[in-house]
Amino acid sequence: MWKYDINRLWLLLALAGLIFLSGCTLASPIDRLVAYANEPTANAQVVATIRPTFTATALVTATPTKTSTPTVTPIPTDTPTPTVTTTPTTTRTPTPGPTSTPTVPPPPPPPTNTPEPTPTPAPSWDYQVAEMYNQPTEANILSIMVAIQTPNGGFIPGLRLVGVDPNGVLTKSEISADKSIGHTPPGEVVKSGNTKFEPISNYVTGPWTFHLESADGTQVSDTFSVHIDAENRSWFFFRFAPG
């Protein structure tokens, strides 16, 4: 600020000096004409030459330009990436337990005899098959002679033979008599019985099942199977005895 005032003072002094010099050395045109009129006329015509008038021009003071103070922009610095610190895992140290004193195990017990499983007894039937016999025949009707006898050969009445063919067709014979009701076809062997079984379906190839039952429908013998072939026909004989 002080340097700026000194410059202005010097400019003002220079301007005042110029104005002073101009007033001393230069005259205005009017003053010169008055002086010329008062002078005596010469023989020769004097032509007055008007000297140019110098006008003092004020000097332009340069206005100082405010210079903006540069702002220092901070350079971004790289932010360091935080390092992941692994937290150590606490290791559990096993605490030793009390030391057990080894003991001698007692001797094993002597082996015991395991009883074998008792077999389930088969159902007890009043009658069982004592004899089965068959012989080829030319007859077109399937016929089975049945004899239900005591050990001494007497016939037991009141029972019947039940048969089921391969198609599930069930047939029951007549109730047995207390005597013989017929014989098997003539041949090398002839059998007699006290009831006869002649099925509704006649000859059907395949396994047939049979059993003996009482007059009221109670099964009194085990069920057994017989294969019958319609192409190779035979007559059959079954004998039952008390079980």
- Please give the pLDDT value at position 93: 62
CATH 2.60.40 matches 127-242: yes
Proportion of the chain above pLDDT 70, given as a percent: 62
Q: Closest by alpha carbon to 167, among 230, 104, 218, 235?
A: 230
Q: Looking at the predicted structure, is the pLDDT value of residue 214 above 50?
A: yes
Q: DSSP assignment, residue 42? A: P
pLDDT in tens, 110-139: 777 777 777 776 668 999 999 999 999 999
Q: How many CB atoms are closer than 10 A to CB 39?
A: 8
* Of 186 and 106, more confident: 186
What mean pLDDT is predicted for residues 164-182?
A: 97
- Please give the pLDDT value at position 187: 85
Going through the chain in order, the beta strands assigned E by DSSP cover 127-136, 144-148, 159-164, 170-172, 182-183, 192-193, 195-197, 206-214, 224-228, 234-242
In whole angstroms, what is the distance from residue 213 CA to residue 211 CA? 7
- Please give the pLDDT value at position 183: 94
Q: DSSP assignment, residue 209? A: E
Confidence of residue 78 (pLDDT cuts 50, 70, 90): low
- Please give the pLDDT value at position 160: 98
Q: Looking at the predicted structure, is the pLDDT value of residue 13 above 70?
A: yes
* Of 98 and 14, more confident: 14
What mean pLDDT is predicted for residues 161-190?
A: 95
pLDDT in tens, 22-43: 554 444 444 554 444 455 444 4
- Please give the pLDDT value at position 5: 65
Domain map of the chain by residue range? 1-62, 127-242
- Please give the pLDDT value at position 216: 96
* Of 165 and 31, more confident: 165
